[in-house]
Structures are given as structure tokens and as C-alpha cells.
Amino acid sequence: MKRLALILVLLASRLNAATVTHEIITADSGNTPNTSGAFTPALNDLLVVCAVGSVTGAATATMVSSVGGFTFTQILNVPYAADVNMMYCFVSNALVSSATSQTVEFAPQGDTANGSVIAVEAVAGITRTGLNAILQNANQANQAASTTPAPSFASSALTGNPTIGFVANNSNPAGLTGPSGWTEAGDTGYTLPTTGAEIVFRNSGFTGTTITWGSTSATVFGSIILEIDTSSPPSCNHALTLLGAGCS
């Protein structure tokens, strides 16, 4: 009986495991704001979007869904190519409540970009949203050509947590080999100015800190890695909330 109960628990954990689905990657050589191609996420997906903008120094950018009321928070920004180009990642502030076709619009604030790549990933099987869904992130800024992207988390990743990686450089396409054990979801780019980006993900099984790509970048680059938090948020204590403690 105990063995049967254990098997059922293991099966349930596998069925409920978080998974990443690549939705779309869109390269656009026009000035921002730029819009992704259309995609249709599943109900209750969390959306994670990474983008690169060329010839911009904007520290902040917006990511806006064509579905009214569905918003994103910027996780971080990372410069490369002597601070001329900028990378960003965003996370949705809610789970998808309507599995309808949509696009997202990327716009650096205070300084337009002369082109962009927008990559949209959907994460299923988690309950956290916004910045609470990101357990940790790391990056490499202004990296030299002919070196290998290898960003490193501050702490070891948890085996059940999905990880997402994003590299942008001055090649078209980015032309990188993804890390061993990760899925390369998209590798594209544009010219004028020449810019490329690659998005990768891994659903589970990574317990290290450093995610090392399988090749060097032919041109200067930046990199970003994210670990998604699959743990359940703590339950709210109504009494503490009334006292101003809130819920995390």
C-alpha cells in the first residue's frame, strides 16, 4: 500500500511538472515600437518575453500585450556592444486567462531602438506571477567576441525549476550552439544594424550555477539566464494582512 501511494505521488508530481513552450521569435529591422508575430498561449500559462534592441541605451522598456489588461514587468536590462545595444526580459503579471491569439509590443523608453528581436516563452504548471515567478537571474554584459556565453546564478538551481537563456550579439543570425541539455527554441536576426538573438530553455534537471553555451559568439554579445520558481506561494494570513504585513 505504501509503495502504491509513493508511485501515485511520483506520477502526480510528473503530471504537474512545469514546462516551457516556445511561442514565437520575431526579428524586425524597423525602429521601435515593434510587435511580435501572433501566438496563442494556453490557459494558465505564465509568459516570459526576452528582447534585444539595437542602438539604444534605454534602461527601461515596456512590453504590452494586444489583449487588454494583460501586463508585464521588466525583470532586468543588460547592455552589450559597448553599451550600444540593450537586452531585456519581462514576465507577465498574471497567468493567461483567455487562450486567444495575441501579439506583444516592445518599446524602449526615452530612446528608440533601430530594430529588435522579441522571443516569447510560455511556462505551464506554475502558480506564481510577476517577479515572484523568477527565483533568480544572472547575466553577462559587454562580452568580447570569440568567447563563450557562460552566465552564472548566485545559487544552484533547483532540479524541478525550468531555466531560460537568452543571448544577443552582432551577428545575423546569432549563430550559437545552445548549452548541452537545453532546447534551442529560436535563433534569428536582422541587418542594418546586424543583430542576432538566440533563446533556449530547459524544463528540469539542472542543479548547477553556470549555464555554458556550446560555442563561442563570433561577435560581441550579452547573455541572460532565468530560473522559474515552481514553488507554491505562501498562503495569506488575513489577520496579518489587516495589520499591514501583507502576503509574499
pLDDT digits (tens, 9 = 90+) for 138-182: 999 999 999 999 999 999 999 999 999 999 999 999 999 999 999
DSSP per position, the chain? -HHHHHHHHHHHHHHT--EEEEEEEEEE-SPSSEEPPPB-PPTTPEEEEEEEESS---S-EEEEESSTT-BEEEEEEEEETTTTEEEEEEEESS--SS---B-EEEEESSS--S-EEEEEEEEES----GGGGEEEEEEEEEEPTTS----B-SSPPPTTS-EEEEEEESSSS--PPPPTTSEEEEEEEETTTTEEEEEEEE-S---SSB---SS--SS-EEEEEEEE--SPPPPP-HHHHHTT----
For 214-233, the pLDDT digits (tens) are 999 999 999 999 999 999 98
pTM listed for this prediction:
0.90
